């Protein structure tokens, strides 16, 4: 098949890990006979430096014309809170412009990394869950104001927004263990009361046979660490999902190994590792590319419909790690570690 992929490396370690994702895409194209057209475009802080805008028009145009978008990471102290234009503004805009309202963040522990987590190994056995985070609503997109003595961020959700994200969770649950936990703060927030009512109605009327449990976010944060195997599909709003998925990364040993897919109603999606730009290690060649490479697998599966190729990438990651390939963030004490490129080499070698 032929496909057009926009590649936006971003800031910090973004260019380093995206380079490994591109190598994997190139190998998949050659191995399986596909023609992937890759177009690089600036984004985030790098785009601010070049054009004064974190999401220049030509970058957005390239993304809108693509079948999928591969993103590294954005941000850094150079464009901190005092900066008049910030990289994160571009991230919110690109999500809205692409219409990607559902962020999927699968968390599955690779058995070979069982001893790499700070959490007791016996708690982690069997962890296999997926977060469905609403991505284009809530407090991040609400009205904002600031005076010398007060700041306001408005959290708003509509019935339609809750319906569509619940349907994404419902479809996923039907293909998995048919169990959804919806996370909110309905004892305090009116938006959460709406969320709970709508989620209950949608699951009951449209997904018979799928169970739905409601859980308050503070309780969920504790339960996620104490008994993570209780969860299958977790659906929640934007800010709660942002926070809880970083917590959930501890279940898989490191932020560096987790991918994400941001999807809308069409096939085009935005794919990125869940980690940040890690400016403290940028340029050192030690960042973990696994999250980006697994994001490539999600890209192949969800936007291009290439399930066999996606499975081959995932199997190569597992095989490389099973064979002992480790970057510093997932290495047990005393184990030798690989740099970013060498980790990519190990995964490519496992692909054959």
Dihedral sign (CA 224, 130, 241, 207): negative
Q: Among this protein's residues, is 185 annotated catalytic?
A: yes
Cα separation, 314 vs 316, in Å, equals 5
Q: By C-alpha distance, which of 330, 326, 347, 346 is closest to 338? A: 326
The single residue of 11, 67, 184, 242 carrying the catalytic annotation is 242
Q: Which structure tokens are listed for 285? A: 């060649």
| Phi/psi of residue 45, nearest 5 degrees | -60, -40
Cα separation, 279 vs 111, in Å, equals 30
The single residue of 101, 140, 157, 271 carrying the catalytic annotation is 140
First to last CA, the chain: 21
The single residue of 185, 232, 271, 329 carrying the catalytic annotation is 185
Q: Among this protein's residues, is 246 annotated catalytic?
A: yes
Checking 266-269 for CB contacts under 8 A at 24+ apart, the result is: 266/99, 267/67, 267/302, 267/303, 267/304, 267/305, 268/66, 268/67, 268/68, 268/69, 268/98, 268/303, 269/68, 269/69, 269/100, 269/298, 269/299, 269/302, 269/303
The single residue of 53, 128, 246, 345 carrying the catalytic annotation is 246
DSSP state of 212: E
Cα separation, 21 vs 5, in Å, equals 12
By the 8 A CB rule, do 85 and 284 touch?
Answer: no
Q: What is the CB neighbour count within 10 angstroms for residue 333?
A: 5
Q: By C-alpha distance, which of 157, 330, 352, 310 is closest to 256? A: 330
DSSP state of 250: G
Cα separation, 47 vs 88, in Å, equals 12
Residues 6+ apart with CB under 8 A from 307: 300, 301
Q: Among this protein's residues, is 242 annotated catalytic?
A: yes
The single residue of 49, 61, 125, 218 carrying the catalytic annotation is 218
Q: Among this protein's residues, is 140 annotated catalytic?
A: yes
Number of alpha carbons in the 13 Å side-chain half-sphere of residue 173: 27
Q: Which structure tokens are listed for 188? A: 């305090």
Q: Among this protein's residues, is 2 annotated catalytic?
A: no
List, by residue number, the catalytic residues: 140, 185, 218, 242, 246
């Amino acid at each position: 098949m032929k496909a057009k992929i926009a590649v936006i490396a971003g800031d910090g370690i973004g260019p380093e890990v995206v380079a490994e994702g591109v190598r994997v895409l190139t190998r998949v194209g050659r191995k399986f006979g596909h023609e992937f057209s890759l177009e690089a475009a600036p984004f985030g802080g790098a785009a601010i430096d070049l054009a004064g805008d974190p999401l220049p028009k030509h970058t957005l145009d390239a993304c809108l014309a693509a079948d999928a978008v591969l993103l590294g990471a954005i941000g850094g102290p150079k464009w901190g809170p005092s900066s008049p234009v910030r990289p994160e503004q571009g991230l919110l805009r690109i999500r809205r412009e692409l219409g990607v309202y559902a962020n999927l963040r699968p968390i599955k522990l690779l058995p070979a990394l069982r001893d790499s987590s700070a959490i007791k190994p016996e708690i982690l056995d069997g962890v296999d869950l997926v977060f469905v985070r609403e991505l284009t609503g809530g407090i991040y997109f609400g009205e904002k104001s600031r005076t010398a003595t007060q700041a306001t961020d408005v959290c708003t959700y509509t019935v339609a927004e809750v319906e569509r994200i619940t349907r994404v969770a419902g479809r996923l649950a039907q293909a998995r263990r048919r169990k959804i936990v919806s996370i909110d703060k309905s004892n305090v927030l009116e938006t959460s009361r709406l969320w709970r009512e709508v989620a209950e109605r949608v699951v009951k009327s449209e997904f018979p046979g799928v169970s739905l449990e409601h859980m308050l976010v503070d309780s969920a944060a504790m339960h996620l660490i104490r008994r993570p195997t209780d969860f299958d599909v977790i659906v929640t709003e934007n800010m709660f999902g942002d926070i809880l998925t970083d917590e959930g990364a501890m279940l898989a040993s490191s932020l560096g190994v987790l991918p994400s897919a941001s999807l809308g109603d069409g096939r085009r999606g935005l794919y990125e590792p869940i980690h940040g730009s890690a400016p403290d290690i940028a340029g050192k060649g030690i960042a973990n590319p696994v999250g980006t490479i697994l994001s490539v697998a999600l890209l192949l599966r969800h936007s291009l419909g290439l399930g066999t190729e996606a499975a081959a990438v995932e199997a190569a990651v597992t095989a490389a790690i099973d064979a002992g390939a480790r970057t510093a963030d997932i290495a047990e004490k005393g184990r030798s570690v690989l740099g970013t490129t060498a980790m990519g080499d190990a995964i490519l070698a496992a692909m054959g």
